[in-house]
Structure 1
């Protein structure tokens, strides 16, 4: 399983805009073919920093999403809100203990 981790920092005045956009699009992202889970985290020390963790069946599924109209629509709305350059990592989930 592939996990895509994205770190995003927003100008303080844009945090609510981002959260509203995430609320409006999260179901569409989660229901995109190949996505098995979607999580949003907020930094404890800096409330303008967020992380998304999206879980994908394969690298091809993630690439299909990244090339989709849905991704382009979302990205075009949030890109101007960033205060820092976003960072992203694709990692293989090795183990999970519950």
Structure 2
């Protein structure tokens, strides 16, 4: 399993647009082949900073998503609202305590 974490900084006046857009697309992203989990987080101290956290069966599933028309459309819209370069990490989960 691969865990993908993406950090995004938005223009303050674009936060609600982003949240509405994410809400419209979250089920499509989550139901993409190989995606097992999707969450969106908002930073406590910087309201314009968000993180997506997703689980993927394999690296190839994430790559298929990143090459899909779904991702390309979502990313093309979302990146217009950034006020800083996004950062992304792909990691393996070592320990999880329920």
CA deviation after TM superposition for structure 1 residue 94, in Å? 1.0
SS at match of 2:83: coil
Give TM-score, length-normalised by structure 2: 0.99
CA deviation after TM superposition for structure 1 residue 95, in Å? 1.3
* Counterpart for residue 62 of structure 1: 62
- Structure 2 unaligned residues grouped into runs of 5+: none
* Number of residue pairs matched by the alignment: 98
Consecutive aligned runs of 4 or more in structure 1 exceeding 3 Å deviation: none
* Counterpart for residue 83 of structure 2: 83
Deviations along 1:10-56, one digit per CA (max 9) or x if unpaired, are 00000001000100000000000000000100000000000000100
* Counterpart for residue 39 of structure 1: 39
C-alpha RMSD of matched pairs (Å)? 0.4
Give TM-score, length-normalised by structure 1: 0.99
For the residues of structure 1 that align with 2:35 and 2:94, how far apart are their CA atoms?
18
- Structure 1 unaligned residues grouped into runs of 5+: none
